[in-house]
Structure 1
């Protein structure tokens, strides 16, 4: 699936507030959908780039031969899921913000995994 379709599918996840496909080397978004006045996806994408970079550096410092499946940030009213894309996609990650009162974390993680497997960049 292409980027636009992947973002639309992510927004169909129950409770989705916004989604972005981000290059963590540059901090630039390849695409965003959703967001709004209370969620600036471009700013969130740039900030979460630092989260991914930091975790990558930590894994390297610890000499861990492993990969990040996802990173979860739990807020009072939201979940923020960061899923680095595996395979030949380079340095990309999917970022999904969910409303905690409407979203199901397990289903959201499963949905992002499914979207990742079908995404062609």
Structure 2
């Protein structure tokens, strides 16, 4: 599945506001779907890059031999889900913003895991 198809699949979840595939080494979005006036996906990509870098750095400083699967940021009205990609896509993450009142967080995590498995960059 290519980037556009992957992001469309990610935003097929009820309550999806927008999604992005982001390179956390550069902070640049490789692709985006959705967003708009309430959510600037380019700004979100850059900001969440800092979140991912901090968590990866913290794991290293703690000496934990483990990897981050996903990061959940819970806002009053939204969920922001970050899924780090494994394997050859190791510096990439999927970002999905959801309307908290209309979404199913467990389903969203399941969909992002499936998208990760099928994504070809």
TM-score by length of 1: 0.99
Q: Distance in 1 between matches of 2:9 and 2:99?
A: 16
Partner of 1:41: 41
Partner of 2:8: 8
**5+ unaligned residues in a row in structure 2: which ranges?**
none
User: How many residues are treated as equivalent by the alignment?
Assistant: 121
Instruction: Indicate the SS of the match to 2:79.
Output: strand
Partner of 1:80: 80
Q: What is the CA–CA distance in structure 2 between the aligned matches of 1:75 and 1:42, rounded to whole Å?
A: 19
Paired residue for 1:55?
55
Whether the aligned pair in 1 keeps the contact of 2:35 and 2:41 (CA below 8 Å) is yes
RMSD: 0.4
CA distance in 2: counterparts of 1:79 and 1:56, whole angstroms: 21
Deviation of 1:24 (Å): 0.2
Give the conservation status (yes or no) of the 8 Å contact 2:23–2:29.
yes
Partner-residue secondary structure (3-state), 2:46: helix
Match of 2:117 in 1: 117
What's the TM-score, normalizing by structure 2? 0.99
Q: Which structure 1 segments of 5+ residues have no match? A: none
- Asked whether 1:28 is paired with 2:37, we answer no
